[in-house]
Structure 1
Amino acid sequence: MVGWVLCLALLAGCGGGPDGNEYVDYDGTTLVVEGTEYARENTMDPPGTFLPGRVVVQPEEGKLDDAVALIKRYGLTLEGRSAEGWLLAKAPDGFEMQWAAALQAKLGGRSFATNDSAQSPTPIVAAAAAGGDAPVAEESVPADEPSASDVRRIAIERYERIEQAGGLPMTLTATGQPLLLHAKVFDARKESCRRLPGAKPGEWECEAELMMGLCNGDCDPADEEPLPKGERVAIRWDPAQRGFALDD
């Protein structure tokens, strides 16, 4: 999610009432940051879906230090971070959405704020002892779809596994004649990725255009002329590898 500023409310407790400083004022339900007002949005959320107490920020690339400085400048408390660069800031109850909008405006890029638990971000761990670095969330699943390099690597790996298993046995439907296909992917280009209905976090189906050599029988597909072939590739996030892998 490089190039985005992403702010969401995260379930956690928050003590004390709103306290401003020389840059911040709390006027009723309106947040005022350096003279700019950020009003509380009216929502129709049913009881129990509001997630009070924290704001999560993912700065644009190169703006991590700016984000940390703003959090401290405005009197918020930096409490933790995730492996993907999310920053967890403590905010007064009832001002999560306003702070999401304010930090996005200051940092630039696009933002998204929610009080719906179904759209809450990947887990953020609490900070370590004062003055220390926050530990990294081991099991966090990134919200980003697989990158072009991920799709290329996994598409090539898929056919390498088939070759290591001896090829791809097939049967001609009309004649019943058996075939043993061998394939080599010379290159793969990501076209798009999407989440399928019912998919778990980190599971994607990506479409790619492969440049592939294909032959039958006792042959070397690397000697064949590469031809284009469209293909769908199932990909999942592997916590053990801390990266995307082929969904077997």
Structure 2
Amino acid sequence: MVGLSLCFALLAACGGGGPAGNEYVQYKGKTLVVEGTPFERETSPDPPGTYLPGRIVIQPDAGQDDDALALVQRYGLTLEGRSAQGWLLVKGPEGYEMQWASALQSQLGGRSTATLDTAQSPTPIATAAKRDDAANTPEDAEAGAPVPDREPSAADVRRIAFDVYERLEEGGGLPATMTATGQSMVIHAKVFDARKESCRPLPQAKPGEWECEAELMMALCTGDCDPSAEEPLPKGERLPVRWDAKQARYTSGY
């Protein structure tokens, strides 16, 4: 989903030299120290390149958005934007993604979570240009089809999953960087089938906005390759879906 996502970044990542902290943050080797509490880099069984370098996804619990934003500013991280689901997409120093995810989740507590962002299925930043929020205004709703009184169907979810990955391939695939070596690569993906599991409206979502879970049968490969020649394997996916009044159908929320 990077043809739809990585290029949506609103702010550049921190640059130059090694990571520098502030009065609340210190970087000691691979250890992150936040307000005096050390967070070690955990050993991960996942291969290099599994996660996007520097990207942390914060999913605040209800009523904790302001708290999460305050922590991002306090600790000198970069807020890139929000996903279609309202999650905060944050940029930090490369090599400290795991430590920051642990630190932020510890600070927020409750049901808020902070995780790394997968390179295979990155969380796109929702922008006005891509989400076209004007299509959800009362004027456009009157001009087009009103929001239906039903959740997206299995056919809707299947069509949207195929469309998302087809647009990724049309954009040249998913650029990714191996965190351990800094080596760049391009991941190609092919969806063979998509089966809807469930759909639910998210807190504070607009009418017609849903998050749907689906099981995809898909193949991945890297470099100069054809994903359609690979063996498909099952993969769980969460897809943001919204009603497009002008098209009179559910479309991707990316």
Pick the structure with greater CA Rg.
1
More helix by share: 2
**Higher relative contact order (CA closer than 8 Å, sequence separation 6+):** 2
What is the TM-score of this pair, normalised by structure 2?
0.48
